[in-house]
Amino acid sequence: MATSSRKTTRSPAPPVAPRGRQRLPTAGSDEKRERILKAAEALFDRYGYANTTIEQIVQALGVTKPFVYYYFRNKQEIFETLCWAPTEACFTVLDFAADDPRPAHEKAIDGLQRLIAATIAHYPAGFFPYREPQAFSPAYNKASRAVAQQFYKQFCALLEEGRASGHFDFRETRITAQAACSLPGFLYNWYRPGGRLGPAEMVTELTELASRVLGLRSTTAARGKRKAPPAKTDSPRRRKSAPDSQPA
């Protein structure tokens, strides 16, 4: 698959910046923050958000509570910091450069592949938003919805372009977009590392399945559809347009 041009879109601002007692980050402090995040990620994955405490985190690290509170204000801040990186990585996969010459259907499939790969690469934190939606602050939810809405706006536009060019075959744009993206969205229910398929094989398998949801046609079929003469009918047939609803 062809690689895209370098992205020029600015990354979305995180909804929350860690506000512990630390004033200015340093290389050493960044390393310590990552230690905290790594330990917390394993605990959140094993016990869930509600059943994980700061005490458990400090015990896993072999430190005292002031060590954690120097970098993070509370448990929720740690959790949201863990979740924002995969959220940003997943919902910015379609931020292609303005001069990217590829047709819409190639960008759409590439974006799906990147979305699936990013979801798997960020295991298990990438699954937390699906498992623990109640754990987030209003500010985090607002920021997450904003990047999700932008993603679906971009994705639906690519799908409609791809359908117009004869490369996709579907009816309802929004439903099709959300159905295709539900494949990586529901990975949290069953995916575990170390299975029969490795990460790269899993990405390939799920991308092919998602492409079928979009009704991806072969190049020959798409070319034939574009060149087919219009059917003779008493009145032109109009395609249904998807309702301009907000993503769930």
pLDDT band, very low/low/confident/very high, at 218 (cuts 50, 70, 90): confident
Above 70 in pLDDT, residue 27?
no
Q: Is 57 exposed, middle or buried (0-12, 13-18, 19+ CB in 10 A)?
A: buried
Query: In this predicted model, what pLDDT tens digit does every residue of 156-211 receive, in sequence order?
Result: 999 999 999 999 999 999 999 999 999 998 998 899 898 899 999 999 999 999 99
Does the structure show a pLDDT above 70 at 235? no
* Percent of the chain with pLDDT strictly greater than 90: 71
200 vs 197: CA distance, rounded Å: 8
Compute the half-sphere exposure of residue 39: CA atoms within 13 Å on the CB side of its CA.
19
Look at residue 220 in the predicted model and tell me its pLDDT. 45
Q: Who's near 203: CB < 8 A, 6+ residues apart? A: 113, 116, 117, 120
Q: What's the pTM value of the predicted model, to 2 decimals? A: 0.78
The span from the CA of 106 to the CA of 161, in Å, is 11
86 falls in which pLDDT band (50, 70, 90)? very high
Q: Which residue has tokens 């060590």?
A: 67
Give phi and psi for 148, each to the nearest 5: -65, -40
CA 91 to chain centre: 4
Is-contact 126 22, C-beta < 8 A?
no
List domains and CATH numbers for the chain: 20-73 (1.10.10.60), 77-226 (1.10.357.10)
Q: Is the pLDDT of residue 224 over 90?
A: no
CA 183 to chain centre: 11
What pLDDT does 13 receive? Answer: 62
CA 103 to chain centre: 22
Asked whether the beta carbons of 111 and 153 are under 8 A apart, the reply is no
Mean pLDDT of the chain: 85
Q: In terms of pLDDT, which residue wins out, 30 or 221?
A: 30
Distance CA 78, CA 38 (A): 10
pLDDT on residue 4: 42
Q: How confident is the model at residue 2 (pLDDT cuts 50, 70, 90)?
A: very low
> What is the per-residue pLDDT across 55-84, written as a single tens digit (0 to 9) for each?
999 999 999 999 999 999 999 999 999 999
